[in-house]
Structure formats: structure tokens, C-alpha cells
Structure 1
């Protein structure tokens, strides 16, 4: 009597929708490859087909996630923001920082992140090609607006917690974000090296000056 062979379960995963962790890995790969493509060829000459090939995928898969080069570039920008974890800079553990300390922490955290080599390269790309591709300016403005909304909410929380009224937190948040951005762009365009000590000293002076007028906010 011959025995029937015992069937074993295949180690391969059945076809179907990919697991969330697989989706995350695929998207991370695309963003990593796309960033290298943009930095090597510039925004105008970057090619979606080349990105798909380098990532080991297909153009169909790439376009299903990012319908255009603009969408892909924006995804890179906001992935970098997420990696910076700006919200964490406004808190100490579970508790929010005080107004002055929180603004200094946020400014130092975001400037330190923005002064990293890959961030500088992306920002230079945006500024150098935005006159040809307005969508880069739109992405930059959206990035700025997210910072303004985040700081405006923090100022509102601080006003309520400290019982110090703030008539226009959005205007104060804009002044704060544009102050930081102006300092960063100056050093970016002049290609000057800034030490941690110099950055922290400037942040202290700038935030102290801004908070001095808090009663007029």
C-alpha cells in the first residue's frame, strides 16, 4: 500500500492585498530612490520611469501611489517633516513646554534638522527651480503653512494655560516662522557654516525679543 504524500503549508504568503508594513516599506523605498533622483538630475530632469526601475517596481505601481512628479516630490517633503517630529519639540514627555521654552525648542529642533546635508540639498533644489516649476513654490508654502498652524495652536494653548490673552495667535505664529525661515534662507543662500552654539545663541535672542512684546499679542 502506497502512502499519499503529506501536503505541507507553503511558506509563501498568499497573494492579495499587501500587509501594512509591506506597504510602508514599498513607499519608503520609492521616496528614498526618488530623493536621490531629484538631487542627481534636478526636478525638471527627474524621470518617473527611472525612479520606478531603480526602486525595483513598475511605473504602474509608482503612479498608483503618486499620480505625478509633483505628488511624489511633495510626499518626500512631508515625509522629511514627519521624520523631524516637530510636535515633539513642543513637549517634555507628556506635558507641553512653557511658551518661551517651547518656541526655542521648536526653532532649534527644526533648524538643526534643516541644516542637515540632505535637507539643505532639497531646499536648494526648491529655491533654484521654483521659478521654472511653480509647484515647488506651492510645496514650500504648504510646508511653511503647516509650521504656522502648529505654532499658532501652541500659542493658543500657552495663552489659555498662562491666562495671558492673545488676540491674534496666527499673526504671531507667522512672525515666528518667517523669522526662523529668514535666518535659515540667509545661511542657505550664502552657503555659510553655522555652529550649534551660534544657532542656539541666535534662537535665544530672537525668541526673547519676540516674547518681550507678548502683552501686545
Structure 2
């Protein structure tokens, strides 16, 4: 309900409203707040150092309010991983589909992917998953499933650039090449971030690294296109 000066407060159910039943918009706002606050707290203190009770305290709601949405801390973290996946898919699908040249589309996707990986929320999510991979095996599987369409698109673009016949053997070779070539762009920066280091001092340094990596990747694709598919 509204307090004495007319402002809105969180009620016992954790939803901000001014009287009567909480609105659908208020419930959605609380959902977003839970994810935002939980993400910030997991980043700050890690998974083990973050409690649902503390997240509820920061939000100004009860633990029961969060548990009605997410039955456990692990399920709350799963929701954060899914939110990161949705954000990544949205970023990577923004432009490349309209590009006629498959190499241009791959370059655009890889640059967007690199930028996404360097976001602190993304790095911390990866770090938590890596630190206790057994506990989060099912969440990691969800992550792999969520981003698989993006890998498939990269495979399709790489196949178009190579010009190989569409056979099971060639598709398997292209999938292996895609993983290797993607690592040229993303491997070192992500490793640096996971190790607590800043890979690039400036945006210019990041651009130089990306262009250098892309030149190597582009040369490798041209070479494989000329040599043809595996025998």
C-alpha cells in the first residue's frame, strides 16, 4: 500500500502496489528485480556466498516470495543462466541474417559474441559454472542447448563459405572447424577474464586483437576452401 507521503511500498508478498491485488505489471517488475538483484549478488559474493535470504533482504521482500518463483537457489541461478542465454541470442541474431556474404555474417556474429563474453555478468556466470561443474551439470546442459542454434548458424555460414557438398562427413568436419576457429577470437580473452585479468586496456586494443584474429580465421577458411573437403 502507499505510505503516508503517497509513495509505493513492497507489501508482504514482495510486490509493489498501491492497494488491492498486485497488478500483472507489478508482478513482472518484481520478477525482473529478483533476477537483477540475484545476478548482482552472485557476481559479488559467488554462488556459495549468496543466500536467498540476503537477496530477499536487498529486494525488500520475503524469502517465500522468491521461493514461490524459484523453489531453490539453484533454480534461481538456472533462471539467471537462461536470461544470459536469451540476451546473447538476441544480440547475435540482430543483424547477420540480412548479410549476403557468409564471411561478413560470421565476422559480425563473432564480434558480437566477443563483446558479449566480456560483459562481467557473462564472465561471472561462466566462472560459477566452471567452479562446480558437477553441481551445475544440468544447467550447463541447458546452456549448451540454448546456444546450439547459434552454433548451427555458424556451421551453416562456414559451410557456405567453404562451398563443400552437404554430406554427413563434411558437416562433422565443418562443426570441428567452427569450434577451432571460434576459439581464435574468444579463447584468450575469455581465459583472461576468468583469471581475473582485463584482456584489453582500450577499445582500440580490442579492435586490433579482433581484426588480427579474424585475418587468421579468414586465411584458414580460404585455405580449406581451396584444399577441398576431407577425402
Task: Calculate the TM-score normalised by the size of structure 2.
Answer: 0.68
Q: What's 1:79 paired with?
A: 83
CA-to-aligned-CA distance 1:97-137 (integer Å, 9 cap, x gap):
5321222111110111211233333333333x225xx2335
Question: Does structure 1 residue 59 correspond to structure 2 residue 63?
Answer: yes
- The size of the alignment, in residue pairs, is 199
Offset of 1:202 from its aligned partner? 0.9
CA contact 2:192–2:199 (8 Å) conserved in 1? yes
Question: Does structure 1 residue 27 correspond to structure 2 residue 40?
Answer: no
CA-to-aligned-CA distance 1:183-215 (integer Å, 9 cap, x gap):
444333553523222123213422542464354
CA contact 1:152–1:170 (8 Å) conserved in 2? no
Question: Does structure 1 residue 124 correspond to structure 2 residue 130?
Answer: no
Give the 3-state SS of the residue equivalent to 1:73 in structure 2: helix
Q: What's 1:216 paired with?
A: 229
Residues 124-163 of structure 1: pairs in structure 2 closer than 5 A? 124-127=127-130, 129-130=131-132, 134-153=134-153, 155-156=155-156
In structure 2, runs of 5+ residues without a counterpart are 1-16
Q: Distance in 2 between matches of 1:79 and 1:13?
A: 31
Q: What's 1:104 paired with?
A: 107
Question: Does structure 1 residue 114 correspond to structure 2 residue 108?
Answer: no
CA contact 1:78–1:143 (8 Å) conserved in 2? yes
Q: Distance in 1 between matches of 2:160 and 2:210?
A: 30
Q: Distance in 1 between matches of 2:179 and 2:161?
A: 22
Q: What's 1:4 paired with?
A: none
CA contact 1:31–1:75 (8 Å) conserved in 2? yes
Q: Distance in 2 between matches of 1:25 and 1:207?
A: 45
CA contact 2:155–2:178 (8 Å) conserved in 1? no
